[in-house]
Structure 1
Amino acid sequence: MPLQWLRGRFAYTPLQTDDAAFSGSLPWKGRPSPTIFTLRQLKLAAFTILGLLLLSGVGVYNRDQIEAIRAAYSTSQHDESPDVKSVDWSRFAYVQYVTNKDYLCNSVMFFERLQELESKADRVLMYPSIMLADPHEKEHEDSSDDAKLLILAREKYNVKLDPISVQHRTGSDPTWADSFTKLLAFNQTKYGRVLSIDSDSTLLQHMDELFSLPPTTVAMPRAYWLHPDKHILSSQVILIQPSQVEFTRITSKINNAGRNDYDMELVNELYQDSAMVLPHRPYDLLTGEFSKDNHQWYLGSDEEAWDPVAVYNEAKLLHFSDWPLPKPWLDAPENLVREREPKCVAMMDGLGSCAARDIWRGIYEEFRERRERVCDTSPPETLDNGRRRRRSRRRLEH
């Protein structure tokens, strides 16, 4: 299922109350083209916003402020301005980290999506050096599947390969044992700014506008699903200004981390009171949000009506989180899927809506189909190897 189909079907429109009408009346309408600021207007807007933040004493960016900066640096082919073209995009990079073959595929999918969305910033992939010792190596017959995928990322999606050592720590939860590896992004000092995004996610829109925010060591959204009153930062999206000073602080924290400390605990300990806060709408949406009965924490209000179509349409990043359902590249029992998927809801007019369920199913289906397409490193089938494969299958069948 191509992303265009999914986004086309659920492009923004007021939520329908009739499922039949819903499934057939959501043509792609696109997003309105934002007004492009001139460079002078951009500077004025940035200083105005920064001044308001300083006066309020809170480094929190709301959605309107982000929209203003996004409009100024919009990179779509329809509304690009001379000011945008003059940006030195080589100073900025999206950074992914890899610890195993599953997440390698996820990262390549992430970069494939960035290319499709015409993002202009560099792309950097930090990967275990054992997968490909020489990042400039050419593919050959004996190349491993991991090496082939890395070379594919470099050649097809213009990814800069950076071999690293995985930062492994033995803790109480093996799921997050290698999560400190993402913090090596603080050492990408050749860039003025890097954007680290977890790869167990689906990118719906690029985030190039974030590179134009006022200077700050880190900018992160809140983990809105975790006790909003505690103001916990989410490490799923981190805008970083790399420096040797900060990397030294990070390294020290990693070396002294406790058994229950992982990347999220570490960045909160260091930056909870100083980070610029990005709005989680639209930068950090959990797929599990579509299954909830109460959406107050995500919406930020108990007065705003939950509209899954509008929420999906505004989102830039969907993070797969439907525990106990496993990640989409792992098999799950059908009964567990049915248990965790969003339920159809009754509307005031007596009709039902399955919009949330259909969106949720579409997200998972699109991810699986794209994963199979993007990460297939098998050689193109020729007449000879096609015959060999068919003979091999017949032997197995008999």
Structure 2
Amino acid sequence: MVLLTGGQVSMAISSAIVFVFTSALFFSGYVLQQRSVKGIQDAIKPRLPPPPPPSTLPTPLASSMSSSRLFRGAPGSKGHAAYQHYISHQQPGVTVDWNRLAYVQLVKSHDEVCNAIMLFGELHRLKSPARRVLLFPQSWALEKQAKKGEYADPYLDTSRRLLRMAARRYRVELRPAEPFVKGSGLELPASYSLASVFRLVDYERALVLATPGLLLDATPLDALLAFSPLSSFAALQTSPEAGDAWSDLLLLSPSTELYSSLSEVQTKHPSSDLELLHGAFRESPKIGPPQSGHHLVSSISMLHEAEAGFNASAFLTSSAYIRFSDPKLPGPEYDVPYFDRVRARPRNKDADWVWTKLYGNFAQKRMDICGLDLEPWREGMEDGLR
């Protein structure tokens, strides 16, 4: 039998205490580390929109079912085509390849660059899992630094800086776009067309939103991009009064054949983007006007029509994307003189609060994302005020 002295017993007890507390500290640190890692993973991983259950078949999309061929089932079928498509995606083993889906923006001039990047910045913040593609004139990538005495594009450096920032910060894929009509001379903005999106054949589907605008909720747009029935082309019709003015949202499936066909038509009969696409897809599905109080795209012009009882909170929470198509101002990127802005405000006080808030938010995001102030109001633009 080995007898321990008092010092040895004291040392053994001290060592045991140190071991216990060290082990406890290690395990607590390990648990905190795992929680931190999980928190970081949750923060950076994409937000995947699940197919909505039948009881809530998706509100922003279901709003158009009564008037849209895109969501109309075949005669005698049960439910709508979109409903059946959603059900099929709820089956085990069916997944969405988000690498084949993309939000696409085409910028034709320098003043459109920040508006497009602001949209991509919000998609990144809201964790949209779809890819982001920005098409820009190829001359911006080819043009070299002007020598002394030569004409230099004064805005080119700013646009290049913003493009590089978008690729680095928001994982935007930059793709130079060729002039849509060959031999058109100077590469003016009109030389480029939204039909160029059809050349992106490495994507199954592309969604184009009109800018400038503010993205409030990416989930319904992601659901539209991922789960709506596949078609060559579909467009958003904002209201029954809009007629054929469905430029707010375009949903299309890229195709080399379609691009070649559109290029041929444009060469023979030059026209605007919307005239070209509408003529080619006149019988294609249209996403009809919302009827359930939810909107994929809302226009800020709706605030000028607000009547008594207008619900400001409902307007904001029910809109996924708000486009600044304001008939009384040239655009949210311009710093309009105070008295002109006052004359342009909605008459309804609650609508005026939302209107002012949205313009303020746009100006702040423009600074936060692009580092740009509002553009000064220039003479000659007074005709834009009505």
Give the TM-score range, shorter chain: 0.5 to 0.7
Distance 2:123 2:366 in 1: 15
Contact 2:108 2:189 (8 Å CA) reproduced = no
Q: Distance in 1 between matches of 2:264 and 2:76?
A: 33
Give distance in 2, aligned partners of 1:294 and 1:267.
35
What is the SS of the residue equivalent to 1:54?
coil
Q: In structure 1, what is the Cα distance between the partners aligned to 2:310 and 2:76?
A: 30
Write the distance in 2 (CA, Å) between the matches of 1:177 and 1:308. 37
Native 8 Å contact 2:109 2:189 kept in 1: no
Give the secondary-structure state (helix, strand or coil) at the position aligned to 1:147.
helix
Gap change, CA 1:167 and 1:358, over 3 Å in 2: farther
Cross-structure match for 2:119: 110
Cα deviation 1:152-198 (Å, max 9, x = unaligned): 111111111101135589xxxxxx96385222111111101011112
Q: 1:53 aligns with which of 73, 78, 83?
A: 73
Question: Superposition RMSD on alpha carbons, in Å?
Answer: 4.0
Counterpart amino acid of residue 110 in structure 1: L
Q: CA deviation at 1:338?
A: 1.6
CA distance in 2, matches of 1:313, 1:165: 39
Instruction: Name the counterpart of 1:268.
Output: 278
Q: Which amino acid aligns with 1:181?
A: S
Alpha-carbon distance in structure 1 between the residues aligned to 2:86 and 2:317: 19
1:90-169 paired onto structure 2 within 5 Å = 90-133=99-142, 144-167=157-180
SS in 2 for 1:132: helix
Partner amino acid, structure 2, of 1:210 = L
Aligned residues: 289
Mind listing any 5+ residue stretches in structure 2 that lack a counterpart?
A: 1-48, 63-68, 144-155, 183-187, 373-386
Counterparts of 1:286 and 1:168, CA distance in 2: 32
- Structure 1 segments (4+ residues) deviating >4 Å: 33-38, 49-52, 81-84, 166-169, 278-281
What SS is found at the alignment partner of 1:284? strand
SS at match of 1:312: helix
Tell me what 2:222 maps to: 208
User: How far apart are residue 239 of structure 1 and its match?
Assistant: 0.5
2:357 counterpart residue number: 362
Matched, 1:239 2:243: no
Aligned-partner SS, 1:285: strand
Quick one: structure 1 residues 50 and 364, their matched pair in 2 at CA, closer, same or farther if it must change by over 3 Å?
closer
Normalising by the residue count of structure 1, what TM-score does the alignment of the two structures yield?
0.63
CA separation of 1:287/1:69 partners in 2, compared to 1, >3 Å: closer, same or farther?
Answer: farther
Pair 1:108–1:293, CA change in 2 (3 A): closer
Q: Retained in 2: the 8 A contact 1:180–1:262? A: no
* Maintained 8 Å contact 1:180/1:254: no
Q: Residues 233 and 268 of structure 1 are in contact (CA less than 8 Å); yes or no, is this contact kept in structure 2?
A: no
1:332–1:168 CA distance, 2 compared to 1 (3 A):
farther
Q: Residue 319 of structure 2 corresponds to which residue in structure 1?
A: 315
Q: Indicate the SS of the match to 1:123.
A: strand
Q: Which residue of 1 aligns with 2:235?
A: 220
1:56 and 1:284 map into 2 onto residues whose CA distance is 31
Secondary structure (helix, strand or coil) at the match of 1:238 reads strand
Q: Distance in 1 between matches of 2:229 and 2:191?
A: 28
Q: Which amino acid aligns with 1:148?
A: R
Distance 1:355-1:144 versus aligned 2 partners, 3 A rule = same
1:373 counterpart = 2:368: yes
* Amino acid in the other structure paired with 2:169: K
Asked whether the 8 Å contact 1:223–1:232 carries over to 2, the reply is no
Q: Which range is displaced more, 118-127 or 200-209? A: 200-209
| Paired letter, 1:284 | V
1:53 is paired with a residue of what secondary structure? coil
Compare 89-98 and 232-241 and name the one that shifted more.
Answer: 232-241
Q: Deviation string for 1:17-62 (max 9, x for gaps)?
A: xxxxxxxxxxxxxxxx988559xx99xxx9xx989522289xx99x
CA distance in 1 between partners of 2:235 and 2:326 (Å):
22
Contact 1:309/1:355, CA 8 A, preserved across alignment: no
Larger Rg: 2
Alpha-carbon shift at residue 232 of structure 1 (Å): 1.4
Larger RCO (alpha carbons 8 Å, 6+ apart):
1
Q: Secondary structure at the match of 1:361?
A: helix
